[in-house]
């Protein structure tokens, strides 16, 4: 801290504005507790040759620096262009195939083909990220109807889960490229997109979820009850909205291996595009997905208790800390 200070303290207003910086850091350390630590990336014991995980490692030896340089070359000149090319070709594929499928009349052919399109497109995205996924207990995979809940680390969670089955996504309507993708997805299968104003109306949300779940032909809904991205060392308190609907809940635990690449998206630090570029220039995204047996709300159990029960099951399976908050 003080070395940086010497170089900067040379103009008059910096004599004052640096005090602002130090006072903020001081108050942050007063307020910091085990929960705020969940919102920054996990620290590694050994350096995995990626710059962004280089927190405590200073210059160790020339050999290590050369190795790092070679790794940098490999990742940015070989892996990144290949992955970006795949990702960039996957998006138009999705946008072209889904309207084609939607032209077919509703029926077995329509749903069969839309599943195929779904699997192909998500397969392309998974390979674009070089995600090496191990699915455990696939006999518990969510089936028709029901709600699937999982712990949230990154928006990539959706791609990882959707690679192995069709889900209906829930979310707010966005503009731009995201909005385009949302409209395309809706053509092939049913998703639930909310307007911003509707999202605040809890009854409307609950009703739409309930209607979707009641229709057995529709795919299960994928919900992330934590509400925000956590750094994959613990599971935060679940919001109870999705547990009030009253159908069976399929918990899924996702655990990323931090040695190959940090999957956590710190939305206050970088935007989604820089996050995707970071991820695509890591070694790989290695993760394990565990499908847990379905759980139903017991008689007399409140939604909050049910959500805590599901949260503990997910934390226990994934080896994550079950936080009280």
Partner 1 sequence: MGSRASTLLREEEIEEIKKETGFSHSQITRLYSRFTSLDKGENGTLSREDFQRIPELAINPLGDRIINAFFPESEDQVNFRGFMRTLAHFRPIEDNEKNKNAAPSEPLNSRTNKLLFAFRLYDLDRDDKISRDELLQVLRMMVGVNISDEQLGSIADRTIQEADTNGDSSISFNEFMKVLEKVDVEQKMSIRFLH
Q: What is the DSSP letter of 161?
A: H
Pairwise CA distance, residues 51 & 111, whole Å: 45
Contact pick of 169, 176, 268, 303 for partner 1 (by CB under 8 A):
268
**CB of 238 or CB of 250, closer to partner 1:** 238
Q: Tokens 């919102």 — which residue?
A: 39
Structure-token pair, residue 167: 């889900």
In the complex, least distance from residue 68 CB atom to partner 1, rounded to whole angstroms = 29
In the complex, least distance from residue 271 CB atom to partner 1, rounded to whole angstroms = 17
39 lies in the binding site for partner 1 (CB under 8 A): yes
Beta bridge partners of 222: 148, 169
Q: Does residue 255 contact residue 179 with C-beta atoms inside 8 Å?
A: no
Nearest of 218, 213, 126 to residue 164 by alpha carbon: 126
In the complex, least distance from residue 198 CB atom to partner 1, rounded to whole angstroms = 21
**CB of 18 or CB of 164, closer to partner 1:** 18
In the complex, least distance from residue 35 CB atom to partner 1, rounded to whole angstroms = 6
**CB of 21 or CB of 283, closer to partner 1:** 21
Q: What is the DSSP letter of 53?
A: G
Nearest of 93, 111, 90 to residue 102 by alpha carbon: 111
In the complex, least distance from residue 11 CB atom to partner 1, rounded to whole angstroms = 8
In the complex, least distance from residue 265 CB atom to partner 1, rounded to whole angstroms = 16
**CB of 46 or CB of 325, closer to partner 1:** 325
Count of residues binding partner 1 (CB under 8 A)?
A: 33
Q: Does residue 172 contact residue 196 with C-beta atoms inside 8 Å?
A: yes
**CB of 33 or CB of 45, closer to partner 1:** 33
325 lies in the binding site for partner 1 (CB under 8 A): yes
1-30 positions binding partner 1, by CB under 8 A:
1-2, 5-6, 9-10, 12-13, 15-30
Pairwise CA distance, residues 310 & 306, whole Å: 6
Q: What is the DSSP string of 46-83?
A: S--S-GGG-SS-----HHHHHHHHHHHHIIIIIIHHHH
**CB of 210 or CB of 227, closer to partner 1:** 227
Interface residues with partner 1 (CB under 8 A) are 1-2, 5-6, 9-10, 12-13, 15-33, 35-36, 39, 268, 324-325
């Amino acid at each position: 801290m003080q070395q940086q200070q010497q170089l900067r303290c040379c103009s008059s207003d910096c004599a004052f504005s640096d005090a602002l910086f130090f006072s903020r850091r001081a108050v942050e350390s007063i307020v910091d507790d085990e929960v705020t630590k969940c919102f920054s990336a996990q620290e590694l014991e050994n350096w995995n040759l990626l710059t962004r995980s280089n927190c405590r490692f200073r210059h160790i030896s020339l050999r290590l620096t050369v190795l790092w340089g070679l790794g940098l070359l490999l990742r940015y000149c070989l892996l990144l262009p290949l992955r970006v090319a795949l990702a960039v070709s996957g998006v138009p594929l999705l946008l072209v195939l889904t309207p084609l499928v939607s032209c077919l009349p509703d029926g077995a052919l329509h749903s069969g083909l839309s599943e195929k399109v779904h699997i192909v497109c998500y397969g392309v995205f998974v390979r674009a990220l070089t995600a090496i996924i191990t699915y455990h207990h696939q006999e518990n995979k969510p089936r028709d109807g029901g709600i699937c809940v999982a712990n949230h680390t990154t928006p990539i969670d959706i791609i990882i889960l959707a690679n192995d089955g069709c889900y209906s996504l829930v979310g707010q309507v966005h503009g731009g490229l995201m909005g385009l993708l949302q409209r395309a997805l809706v053509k092939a299968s049913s998703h639930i997109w909310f307007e911003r104003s509707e999202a605040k109306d809890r009854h409307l949300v609950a009703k739409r979820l309930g209607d979707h779940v009641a229709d057995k032909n529709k795919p299960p809904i994928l919900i992330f009850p934590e509400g925000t991205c956590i750094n994959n060392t613990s599971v935060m308190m679940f919001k109870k909205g999705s547990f009030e609907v009253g159908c069976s809940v399929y918990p899924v635990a996702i655990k990323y291996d931090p040695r190959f690449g940090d999957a956590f998206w710190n939305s206050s630090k970088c935007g989604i595009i820089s996050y995707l570029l970071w991820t695509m220039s890591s070694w790989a995204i290695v993760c394990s997905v565990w499908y847990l047996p379905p759980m139903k709300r017991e008689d007399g159990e409140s939604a909050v208790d049910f959500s805590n029960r599901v949260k503990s099951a997910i934390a226990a399976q994934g080896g994550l800390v079950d936080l009280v908050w």
